[in-house]
Chains A and B, each alone.
Chain A
Amino acid sequence: MTATTETRIGQPYLAALRKKLPHAVLEERWQTDDQVTVTVKLGSLPEAVATLYYEHDGWLSTMVGNDERSLNGCFALYYVLSMEGAQKCHVIVHALVSADDLEFPSVTPKVPAAVWYEREVRDMFGLRPVGLPDERRLVLPDDWPDGLYPLRKDSMDYRFRPEPTADNETYKFVNDSKVETTVVPLGPLHITSDEPGHFRLFVDGETIVDADYRMFYVHRGMEKLAETRMGYNEVTFLADRVCGICGYAHSVAYASSVENALGIRVPDRAQAIRAILLETERMHSHLLNLGLVCHFTGFDTGFMQFFRVREKAMTLAEMLTGSRKTYAINLIGGVRRDILGEQRLTTLKLIGELRAEVKRLIDILVSTPNFEGRVKGVGLLDPQVARDYSPVGPVVRGSGHRRDTRADHAFAGYKLIDMPVHTQAGCDILSRTLVRIAEFFDSIAIIEKLLEDTPTGPILTEDFAYKPYKFALGYTEAPRGEDMHWSMTGDNQKLYRWRCRASTYNNWPVLRYMLRGNTVSDAPLIVGSIDPCYSCTDRVTIVDVNKARSKTIAYKEMERYCRERTDSPLK
């Protein structure tokens, strides 16, 4: 462990917590200088999380459920808070849940951001959050048997599949509107999104009164896969495949979670290379989203032009990593490939071209007739809603909050540079787009800076040994926002628990508020503005995709609703 008492960041938060709840704090354990796990009594859990969240500028980053019955006879919950007040650090509120009654007090009534996590932990571990307002399944499909909890250690072996228990979709979509509405189903497959997600829009004429949605149609069971079948280094390659766009961010987050847990010092040069590749990934991801914004507004010419230019970013990735996606570069302890002198020169040349071409395209986009009319004032995310639900990335920065993991909790090569953070106060799609545009040019500047004075030395350290049951966080700022991984090592050269939380997971819950009051025609545009990544979110459990998918679409019901429509759209 590198942590020492003097350099620890975040001690005032603990002091405040002890002062507010004198008898609640049982234990504190420091994983690194800026990561501390505080064990609290189960009954004080909601109070402890809410105190850190609302009184000390905490944001809920993730929540980890863990089956620790073989270690201490209990289930464990870890609420990870990213503290972004005067001292920037991570405080993890930990509580043990008895294996006998399986109940814990829900945090959601005090901190709404916890809602998806608590629904998920209920699905995966069978722990019952008492007082959780929304008790529907989140992750498991409707035909999954009751009483089978995939992430428990004594759950059914991963090689088997449970028998489906229901033929029809039984999921209840929530509609809070006061007036009579008609239902417009967007999905499970819709023309503007190439991944399945089912949105129900409750509309009056063309105005969306309320919306609800469900994801997780294509779970890949990656966490279980990593825990049961893979060694530590294989999981870095699995993490690459969490996402088809921003997989490298996951790989870095996973690797650094294990490095933090074991106290491994990664060489500076490897850290810089990781940052360069993360920014390469950000460039092609943001260009993708800028193209999609054009596509959703019907401006396909812009879409095609952005994709033409994006090809340069892909070429860059191919040159630096050997594949068009930034795949297979990380190992625990460093990276597998160095950036050579010639590659450095080519990189500088390519990003110079990118800067010029993208600048031209942005000028065209901004001056396109009625583009601004489509995106300005549409899909508003109220800053207070954002504060309550802890969204991440350009979504939260577009609503005026200065949250960027690269600046707040500098990791990898970002320690070597000054990170600018761009925010916009418009809260609309235009703001999110402008944030992405600014970040694209930042990425170019960061790569140039890091290539200019790259630290010298080795790119990989293998001078460490795996120790069992060590755990820590690893995090990155992916193009869509913060990725948060939590890993606990096991005693069999495998992970005991790997919790991978992708950025879009935190952005889904606020989407409902962004859709309200807009028109049906803007819905795909609004969904697109969070740059959603379905597959990143859909990663947790083992689902027989074919069986679950083939029986879910209740078209008859939709048709019945459709004929009830009464109001014309223009009044």
Chain B
Amino acid sequence: MPDLSHLLLAVLQALLLLAAAPLVSGMSRVVRAKMHTRHGPGLLQDYRDLFKLMQRQDVRPPSAGPVFRTMPIIMMACMLVIATGTPILTRFSPISACGDLITTIYLFALARFFFALSGIDSGSSFAGIGASRELTMGVLVEPVMMLALFMAALLAGSTDLGAIGAAVASGRVHSLTAVIVAGLAFAFAVYIELGKLPYDMAEAEQELQEGPLTEYSGPSLALLKWSLSLKQVVVIAWFVGVFLPFGSSLDLSVGGVLLGLVAFAVKLVLIFLAVGIVENSVSRTRFRLTPQHSWLGVGIASLSFVFYLVGL
């Protein structure tokens, strides 16, 4: 049972991610503009966008049902719950019940399920295609994620994200090569999960008019956009917490947590810069070819299992 200070930390880090998410997506836009040789919007543009959308009228298609209405809230809630459990500022998970890797994977799957369902519920054919793509992507990505994380769990002897992270950071693992290879596979899966080019299949603007987002407007679009950028940050935090936990605090001391915050921010910015460069120098993959790409991920993750067996 977590005590009060753990709970406080969990809420604090979830709110922190929520507040920082538009900043991070704003940074992606700045990088994008630089790559385009454009002036582009400022760093805070996404806050302005959200503020503007919040004041707008919420228009729904007449055929849309309760799923369409509640999806942005469910999405946001799922992401916040994951954010409370992920080891972000500390080496351990603040609420270990939420910090289990199986729970986390299923919370992501829940969000994905409702995201896809709302696309079908909206009645727009573009949203419908986007929804079926979203589910297909889930089928393709989740095995890679599972396999890679289970490898790490196997190596660390626990499915708790904090425990895995701690084991990785201290080097107390059965096979270092296996960890690195599993980390690579997981990084690949996480990249697809970010929904960035070349894998932004469901929200492909030119192909599907942003898929499931097509029919949303006003506050619910704001909430959805916010959740999607929060999802990107959470996914990165998840990766960092498990495979790159270096610099996070070992205890609950204020100084340690602050230092952990700085370390996390630096890692986040570096990763998003790298992602920004990748996403702006490629074309979108043809949707039919995506399975070939995800097989690569499965291959890498399996390789990690081989290394584990060999014990290298």
Rounded to whole angstroms, the CA-CA distance of A568 and B116 in the bound complex is 13
Interface residue count on the B side (C-beta < 8 Å): 37
Given known pairs A569-B133, A570-B136, the reply for A185 and B287 (CB within 8 Å) is: no
- A371: which B residues are within 8 A, CB to CB? 283
User: Across the interface, do B283 and A370 meet the contact criterion of CB distance under 8 Å?
Assistant: yes
B60-112 contacts to A, CB under 8 A, are 61, 63
Q: How far is the CA of A299 from the CA of B133 in the complex (A)?
A: 20
Give the residue of A300, A370, A524, A569 whose beta carbon is less than 8 angstroms from that of B285: A370
Interface assignment of A225: CB less than 8 Å from any CB of chain B: no
For A192, list chain B residues within 8 Å (CB): 206
Q: Are B125 and A519 in contact (CB under 8 A)?
A: no
CB pair B206–A191 under 8 Å, yes or no, is yes
Nearest CB on B from A6, distance (A) = 57
Alpha-carbon distance A334/B1, docked complex (angstroms): 90
Interface residues as binary, A372-401 with B (CB distance below 8 Å gives 1, 0 otherwise) = 011000000000000000000000000000
Kindly state the separation between the CA atoms of A185 and B209 in the bound complex, as whole angstroms.
12
Known A-B contacts A182-B125, A308-B37; the reply to A297 vs B136 at CB < 8 A is no
Q: Which residues of B contact A304 (CB under 8 A)?
A: 36-38
Given contacts A296-B206, A301-B280, contact A559 B198 (CB under 8 A): no
Against B, the Cβ 8 Å flags (1 = close, 0 = not) of A272-312 are 00000000000000000000001111111101110010000
Residue A558 is within 8 A (CB to CB) of chain B in the complex = yes
Q: Whole-angstrom distance between the alpha carbons of A304 and B128 in the complex?
A: 30
Query: Is the pair A184, B286 in contact by a Cβ cutoff of 8 Å?
Result: no
Contacts of B209 in A (CB 8 A): 190-191
Q: Establish whether residues B128 and A562, one from each chain, have CB atoms under 8 Å apart when the complex forms.
A: yes
- Whether, in the assembled complex, A183 has its beta carbon less than 8 Å from a beta carbon of chain B, the answer is yes
Instruction: Report yes or no: A298 in contact with B37, Cβ–Cβ below 8 A.
Output: no
B284 & A562 in contact (Cβ 8 Å cutoff) = no
Tell me which residues across on chain A come within 8 A of B49, comparing CB atoms: none
Tell me if A369 counts as interface (CB < 8 A to partner B).
yes
Interface string of B156-168 (1 = CB under 8 A from A): 0000000000000
B124 interface hit (Cβ, 8 Å): yes
Q: Are B129 and A301 in contact (CB under 8 A)?
A: no
Residue of A nearest to B201 (CB): A521
Instruction: Contact check, A300 vs B36: say whether CB atoms are below 8 A apart.
Output: yes
- Tell me the nearest residue of chain A to B280, going by C-beta: A301
Given that A368-B281, A522-B286 are known contacts, is A561 also in contact with B204, CB under 8 Å in the complex? no
A561 touching B125 in the complex, CB below 8 Å, given contacts A370-B285, A569-B287: yes
Min CB–CB distance B192 → chain A (angstroms): 14
B289 to chain A: which residues have CB within 8 Å? 370, 373
State the total of A-B contacts with C-beta under 8 angstroms: 112
By the criterion CB–CB under 8 Å, are A559 and B206 in contact? no
Q: Does B200 contact A (CB under 8 A)?
A: yes
**121-136 of chain B: CB within 8 A of chain A:** 123-126, 128-129, 132-133, 135-136
Q: Which of A191, A368, A568 contacts B205 (CB 8 A)?
A: A191
Chain B, range 14-58, C-beta contacts under 8 Å to A: 32, 35-38
Please indicate the chain A residues that have their CB under 8 angstroms from the CB of B204 in the complex.
298, 521
How many chain A residues touch B (Cβ–Cβ < 8 Å)?
42
Point out the residue from A305, A374, A558 that lies within 8 Å of B125, measured CB to CB: A558
B205 proximity list for chain A (CB < 8 A): 191, 298
**A562-B197 in contact (CB<8A):** no
Do A373 and B286 have beta carbons less than 8 Å apart? yes
Question: Within the complex, what minimum Cβ distance (angstroms) separates A353 from chain B?
Answer: 16
Cβ-based interface call for B310 (8 A): no
* Interface assignment of B208: CB less than 8 Å from any CB of chain A: yes
Which of A184, A296, A303 contacts B129 (CB under 8 A)? A184
Any A CB within 8 A of the CB of B282? yes
**A524 B207 Cβ-Cβ under 8 A:** yes
A563 at interface, CB cutoff 8 A: yes
- CB < 8 Å: which of B124, B132, B284 contacts A297? B284
B125-151 contact mask (Cβ, 8 Å, vs A): 1 or 0: 110110011011000000000000000
Q: Is the CB of A298 within 8 A of B132?
A: no
**Residue B171 is within 8 A (CB to CB) of chain A in the complex:** no
Kindly state the separation between the CA atoms of A297 and B135 in the bound complex, as whole angstroms: 22
Query: Does A565 touch B at the CB level, under 8 Å?
Result: yes
A565 pairs with B128, CB closer than 8 A: yes
Most chain A CB within 10 A, of B125, B209, B286, is at B125
List B280-308 residues whose CB lies under 8 Å from chain A.
280-289, 291
Determine if A206 is an interface residue (Cβ-Cβ < 8 Å): yes
Partner of A562, one of B125, B208, B287: B125
A519-B128 contact in complex given A308-B37, A368-B281, A569-B133, C-beta closer than 8 Å: no
Cβ contacts under 8 Å, B124 to chain A: 558-559, 562
**How many angstroms from the CA of A184 to the CA of B128 in the assembled complex?**
10
- Give the complex CA separation of A326 and B256 in angstroms: 66
Given known contacts A191-B205, A298-B197, A370-B282, A206 and B126 CB-to-CB distance under 8 angstroms: no
Instruction: Report the separation of the CA atoms of residues A570 and B139 in the bound assembly, to the nearest whole angstrom.
Output: 11
For the complex formed, measure the closest distance between the CB of B199 and the CB atoms of chain A, giving whole angstroms: 10
Contacts of A300 in B (CB 8 A): 32, 36, 280
| Bound Cα distance from A191 to B211, whole angstroms | 12
Once A184-B126, A185-B125, A519-B286 are accepted as A-B contacts, the answer to whether A370 and B38 lie under 8 Å apart by CB is: no
Give the nearest-CB partner of B207 in chain A: A521
Q: How far is the CA of A191 from the CA of B204 in the complex (A)?
A: 11
Given known A-B contacts A206-B129, A521-B208, A305 and B36 have beta carbons under 8 A apart: yes
Q: Is the CB of B136 within 8 A of A569?
A: yes
Taking a contact as CB atoms under 8 Å apart, the answer to whether A570 and B198 are in contact is no
CA of A371 to CA of B208 in the docked complex: distance in angstroms?
19
Taking A370-B284, A519-B288, A524-B206 as known contacts, 4 extra A-B pairs with beta carbons closer than 8 A to each other, sorted by chain A number, are A191-B209, A300-B280, A370-B282, A568-B136
Q: Which 3 residue pairs of A and B lie closest in terms of their CB atoms, listed nearest first? A: A298-B284, A304-B36, A297-B283
Can you offer 5 A-B residue contacts whose CB atoms are under 8 A?
A183-B125, A298-B200, A304-B38, A521-B286, A570-B291
